Structure 1
Amino acid sequence: MSEAAAPASALRRGVMPLLAYAVLTAAMDVYAGNRFEVVSPASLAAVSFTLTMLFFLAVEARRGGVRPRAAVITHRRDIVAINITTAVTWLSTFYALEYLEPAIVNVIGLALGPMIMTLAGPLLRRHSRVMGAEIVVSVAIGMLLAALMWASFSGRSGLGDLSTSDAVLGLLFSLTCAAGSAVNIIYMKRLSDAGCEPGLVLATRFFLMSLVAWILVAFEDGPDLTAALVPGAVVAVIGVGLPIFVLQIGIRHTEPITTSLLVCLSPLFAFALQLADGRLRFSLFTLGGVIGVVVLVAVGVLVRDREPAPGEPAAAGRPAAPEPLVSDEHGGPRP
């Protein structure tokens, strides 16, 4: 095989897993939103993340025995922080899906996370700066997201007429999810820089999430956990385990810019998949807003990709490699 053919072959091997990741994250949003008609977000979270936690603990125990305990001791502050941000991110996601259509929740999580990281980067990480084009893109994304939320308030979204209280709650939970996701990525990066392997982090990051979910279940009036068993197992597979697996495969065979651009497709997949949900109707307004946000996020990724790394001038005719929007340390828009 020629030298030119080898990268092309690797790219082909990486594209399909990344597309699968985008589809799986979209499918999780649509499926969970549908199941909340019969089970509570707390019940679904308790079952799915307990199963997820036990799985990754078993994997790490088989690989390294006492390594999870050692990680908690050595990096306890960051481990505690990522447990908090994981619980905030995922619980707010589930509750947002109870009130808003999946495509809107998905696109808010996709767009606001990078926006927050862009603006907060110089405060949280040294040698990071905000580019003028990124500010313009962020403002435009904010305007489109505001339009999508107006559509939810005015009955033009896929869910039709929503009460003001439901729309407000959905917006607040979606914003919380996006903020939690951005902070999540920062702590993932800190743990990675400290030498923690991705599998080890996954084995220790779901403790608080599971505990809080079970506490919420305990306060519910007659929770039906049997109804949450199958949906919880499905979410554990298509929402956490399988996406992380295919994302790692995709990242191994593609450049960070390719990964970031393909992940941007998730809201479009969510919009397409939610058309099969009888609760939702086709909304041209939602489709236009989602496409606009996806395009702007892609533009932001491309702009950052062409920016030379700090202290390193880009080679002529070849942009410097960016820090990836997603990595093998987390699960993309909603790690």
Structure 2
Amino acid sequence: MIVLAVLMQALGKVAYGTWLVAVPSNLFVFLSFALTAAFFLVMSRRGIGEHAWGPLLLLNAATALTFITFFYALKLIEPAIVGAVEIGIGPVIVVLIALATTGERPSRLRVIVCLGILVGCAVLALAALQGSGFASFGPQAWIGLGASVAAGIGAVLITMSSRALLNRGWRFGAVLAHRFYVILPVSLVLTLGSGGEPIEWTGGLAATLLVVSVIGVLAPLYLLQVGIGRCDAYTVMVTMAALPVLTFVIEGFSPAYVWSGLTALGVAIVSGFLLLDVATKPR
């Protein structure tokens, strides 16, 4: 389940950047997450534990931050860079949050991992600034990188708030069903306020949007929910660490991207240090 979820996530990223260029990122977020929210509300009518407004509000805000910035970044830089920066920045953010809130100092190995990830992200930043086979240079690339970092911060906050709800008796399905109350109105407002050229809707474009929404958003979230319940945490983390590499490989089949040695190097560095971090954790 986890492997299939990661594969579909990678396919969804590349498909979005390849075939949905005409669809604004905020509109895609609104439509795809409206579909996803409806699905999970129907599938998960029960499982709400004790009331916990703080974690629930944080979960909703973090969900909006993560996915709005993530899909915006995909409009500016290639998917492998977005995915590697988003996932790679996670351990660094966790260390900083722990240091700020509890005073816990990271181990020497964790410091090495974080520094290695930052080196990989620097290589990816250089790849993005050079275009890396994609039509973004200079300021646009910096905005894309900043959006990727914001998505990574949001992903960490999603994990923290989800864990808090699960510890209070919420089920996975209920957590998924009640995390979209902020992202839908915010993405709708951003869509209505963005202006821009009108979209020339065709049956093919609408069908593509639906397919990418299912492959890239709805199905991975559902499969991750099921997989997390069936797999151990180690398997989940190892598989997720391989996501940037898989995304980079799939990019090779897309006409929208070309080979980039810098991107390959950056992805390899980030994924390598992520796997080192996972391998050294107690099972």
TM over 0.5: yes
Distance (whole Å) between structure 1 residues aligned to residue 212 and residue 90 of structure 2: 22
1:31 to 6, 15, 19: 15
Q: Secondary structure at the match of 2:22?
A: coil
Q: 1:248 to 1:107 in 2, by over 3 A?
A: same
Distance (whole Å) between structure 1 residues aligned to residue 198 and residue 163 of structure 2: 37
Distance (whole Å) between structure 1 residues aligned to residue 229 and residue 68 of structure 2: 30
* Residue 203 of structure 1: how far off its partner (Å): 1.3
Output the aligned Cα RMSD: 2.3
Q: Match of 1:284, as an amino acid?
A: G
Q: Report the number of matched residues.
A: 280
TM-score, normalized by length of structure 1? 0.77
2:5 to 21, 38, 63: 21
What's the counterpart of residue 158 of structure 1? 133
The answer on 1:111 being equivalent to 2:63 is no
Q: 1:75 to 1:249 in 2, by over 3 A?
A: closer
Q: Match of 2:129, as an amino acid?
A: F
Q: Is the 8 A contact 1:43 1:223 kept in 2?
A: no
Give 5+ residue unaligned stretches, structure 2. Answer: none
What's the counterpart of residue 211 of structure 1? 185
Distance (whole Å) between structure 2 residues aligned to residue 277 and residue 30 of structure 1: 7
Q: Residues 293-323 of structure 1, C-alpha deviation per residue, up to 9 Å, x if partnerless?
A: 11110001122x23xxxxxxxxxxxxxx3xx
Distance (whole Å) between structure 2 residues aligned to residue 253 and residue 77 of structure 1: 28
What's the counterpart of residue 25 of structure 2? 41
1:147 to 123, 129, 152: 123
| Structural mapping, 1:1-335, within 5 Å | 17-61=1-45, 64=46, 74-124=51-101, 130-155=106-131, 157-159=132-134, 162-219=136-193, 220-221=195-196, 223-224=198-199, 226=201, 229-303=206-280, 305-306=281-282, 321=283
TM-score, normalized by length of structure 2? 0.90
Q: Is the 8 A contact 2:128 2:137 kept in 1?
A: no
* Residue 177 of structure 1: how far off its partner (Å): 0.6
What's the counterpart of residue 7 of structure 1? none
* Residue 231 of structure 1: how far off its partner (Å): 4.1
Q: Residues 65-114 of structure 1, C-alpha deviation per residue, up to 9 Å, x if partnerless?
A: xx76x87xx22232222111100100000110000000000111111012
Q: Match of 1:213, as an amino acid?
A: S
* Residue 249 of structure 1: how far off its partner (Å): 4.2
Q: Secondary structure at the match of 2:75?
A: helix
Q: Secondary structure at the match of 1:207?
A: coil
Q: 1:176 to 1:295 in 2, by over 3 A?
A: same
Q: Is the 8 A contact 1:45 1:232 kept in 2?
A: no
Q: Residues 264-285 of structure 1, C-alpha deviation per residue, up to 9 Å, x if partnerless?
A: 1111111111112212101122
* Residue 117 of structure 1: how far off its partner (Å): 1.2
Q: Is the 8 A contact 2:123 2:263 kept in 1?
A: no
* Residue 216 of structure 1: how far off its partner (Å): 1.5
Comparing 222-231 with 291-300, which one deviates more in the overlay?
Answer: 222-231
Q: Is the 8 A contact 2:123 2:265 kept in 1?
A: no
Q: Is the 8 A contact 1:48 1:233 kept in 2?
A: yes
Distance (whole Å) between structure 2 residues aligned to residue 255 and residue 53 of structure 1: 27
Q: Match of 1:290, as an amino acid?
A: V
Q: 1:163 to 1:275 in 2, by over 3 A?
A: same
* Greater RCO, CA 8 A, separation 6+: 2
